Homo-oligomer: A and B are copies of this chain.
Amino acid sequence: MSAPIIRRLAELRGKHRDWTMAGESIGVVPTMGALHAGHLSLVEAAKAACDRVIVTIFVNPKQFNNPEDLANYPRTEHEDAAKLAPYGVDAIYVPDPEEIYPQGFATGVSVTGVSDQMEGACRPGHFDGVATVVAKLFLQTGAGKAFFGEKDYQQLLVVRRMARDLDIPIEVIGCPTVREASGLAMSSRNLRLSAEGLEKASRLYPVLQRLAAELCGGASLDALQDDAKADLLAAGFEEVEYLSLNSSEDLRPLKTADAPSRLFAAAWIEGVRLIDNVSVG
């Protein structure tokens, strides 16, 4: 059964009121649409943990540092609703743009620390845009739990920090990255790759896995990363923007895996920027 698509905040608040009065818990899965199996795994997790589930779909201009990336971002509302139909979610919130950024909107939320490196360094303003829109979506939906994929691990930590720091009463839950059979991390941006590009892109994950195993054995990233980058370029990547080893907890950069850590990468293929990360050890 198709879930109702809600475009106005007032209607969403009405649902929230009814559900809260009935003592029902609410989960939210914030997305930018172009849903894939990764998103659907978040929906499943939300359904398992909450009485009511809201999926939000909003392509947030404030988190795109690159106008071309924003213009090219896939918008597939009909298909998204169809993909959600089997899951029995309670609302698909596709806010009218003025419900998010009304005339005169002038407020920003920013998080330092966990946002400083990697995506924060490469995409100026990106996490400010994420923190701002997610704060709004948390407060608009009034959800008690939110579900984010570990594929965007840095985003997960930024959002968790923001919610905690602003005392938004919501638990931010990270869910494992979902991968294609080839190992490629699911991403809406994969839609922009050719069949050949997809095949080349699938080399990223095994390279990260191999590096993680070597780091786990005590090697330093400095000693490994030139070879790893060469492997990726040889596989067909046009550019490796970063390979980075960071604490899983606060993302401080590490030279060796002497604390619980993750290995992160961003790389370009066919003009599309892909990111991925794996746990080390």
Contacts and interface: CB of A to CB of B under 8 A. Distances in A.
Interface of A: 9, 13, 102, 104-114, 131, 135-136, 139-140, 161-162, 164-169, 250
| Interface-centre pick from A114, A135, A166 (highest chain B CB count, 10 A) | A166
Given A166-B139, A167-B9, A131 B107 contact: yes
Contacts of A107: 109-112, 131, 161-162, 165-166
B106 A113 contact: yes
A199 to B, nearest CB: 40
Contacts of A111: 106-108
A167 to B, nearest CB: 4
Contacts of A114: 106
Nearest to A112: B106
A242 B123 CA distance: 39
A167 B93 CA distance: 15
B106 A109 contact: no
13 contacts: A104-B161, A104-B250, A106-B114, A107-B111, A107-B165, A108-B110, A108-B111, A108-B112, A109-B109, A136-B165, A139-B167, A139-B169, A140-B167
A237 to B, nearest CB: 32
Q: Which 6 A-B pairs have the closest CB atoms?
A: A107-B165, A106-B113, A139-B167, A106-B112, A140-B167, A107-B111
A104 B115 CA distance: 13
Contacts of A105: 165
B135 A166 contact: yes
A121 B68 CA distance: 35
Contacts of A161: 104, 106-107
A109 B9 CA distance: 22
A13 B9 CA distance: 25
A108 B106 contact: no
A135 B140 CA distance: 15
Contacts of A104: 113, 161, 250
A166 B102 CA distance: 11
A122 B136 CA distance: 30
Given A105-B165, A139-B167, A167-B139, A110 B113 contact: no
A111 B164 CA distance: 20
Nearest to A142: B169
A250 to B, nearest CB: 8
A16 to B, nearest CB: 10
Nearest to A141: B167
